[in-house]
Amino acid sequence: MFIAETPAPREIRRAYDLWSYCYDLVAAPGEADARRRALDGVQGRRILDVGIGSGASFAGLARRASAGGVVCGMDLSRLMLRRARVRLGRQRLSPARLVEGNALRLPIRGGSFDTIVSSYLLDLLSTRDIAGALAEFYRVLRPGGRLVLVNLTKLRGDRTTWFERSYEMLPSIARAYLLGGCRPVQLEPLVTAAGFVATQRTVVRQFLSSEIVIADKPYVQNGMPRAA
């Protein structure tokens, strides 16, 4: 479901500041399976989690970064970052690399990361902003780097689900506060359009079905893209 209008970043930030009080109880558990399976796609030592939320994937990422690895988490919402910090503290992981930032303007040098993970973030952006975020992910990954996305999706592109109907009926602000702003998407075509290669999509059936989309930033050889 591709829509032009999504809530403004300041609304999303406010909504997720509020969501931070109940996110782990209400939203996170139903999505755990897809989030866990997506981690199998992670490669390399320098890993960025964009839209880290309360840090549900972060411990797994930190363990996957081999000794000396850098795992960095970013989010728009300060209170979500605070939740993530508490979670990392409980697991005795360093909270040093949690930063406030916007997926549409990553405050990071190009080519800095081996893998970018982003779960349940792009499905709350407008179609234009999804393309903007993918362009930022492309810039920040090294050549041959890996993108791992997890999003709400639907099994059949030609059917409107009850969730989409509810989403459509709500004004955009209520979407953010009641549904977290998310709706089902099918991101593979946009990922390919952003220049990524070797794209794979896996659908995970859960209460709200999710897709895992894994793709690589090509190496460029003799001016032609080449998969990692």
How far apart CA 199 and CA 15 sit, in angstroms, is: 32
Does position 77 bind ligand SAM by CB under 6 A? yes
Q: Site for ligand SAM (CB under 6 A): which residue of 35, 87, 154, 175?
A: 35
Does position 98 bind ligand SAM by CB under 6 A? no
Does position 175 bind ligand SAM by CB under 6 A? no
Using the minimum distance from each CB to ligand SAM, give the nearer residue, 60 or 144.
Answer: 60
Does position 56 bind ligand SAM by CB under 6 A? yes
Within residues 207-226, the interface with ligand SAM by CB under 6 A covers: none
Does position 53 bind ligand SAM by CB under 6 A? yes
Q: Residues touching ligand SAM: how many (CB under 6 A)?
A: 23
The 3-state secondary structure of the chain, one letter per residue: CCCCCCCCHHHHHHHHHHHCCCHHHHCCHHHHHHHHHHHHHCCCCEEEEECCCCCCCHHHHHHHCCCCCEEEEEECCHHHHHHHHHHHHHCCCCCCCEEECECCECCCCCCCEEEEEEECCHHHCCHHHHHHHHHHHHHHEEEEEEEEEEEECCCCCCCCCHHHHHHHHCCHHHHHHHHCCCCCCCCHHHHHHCCCEEEEEEEECCCCCEEEEEEECCEEECCEEECC
Using the minimum distance from each CB to ligand SAM, give the nearer residue, 16 or 137.
Answer: 16
Does position 76 bind ligand SAM by CB under 6 A? yes
Q: Site for ligand SAM (CB under 6 A): which residue of 64, 88, 93, 120?
A: 120
How far apart CA 109 and CA 121 sit, in angstroms, is: 21
Using the minimum distance from each CB to ligand SAM, give the nearer residue, 49 or 114.
Answer: 49
Using the minimum distance from each CB to ligand SAM, give the nearer residue, 42 or 80.
Answer: 80
Does position 115 bind ligand SAM by CB under 6 A? no
CB of 37 to ligand SAM, least distance (A): 13
Chain residues binding ligand SAM by CB under 6 A are 9, 12, 16, 28, 35, 50-53, 56, 75-77, 80, 102-104, 119-121, 124, 180, 182
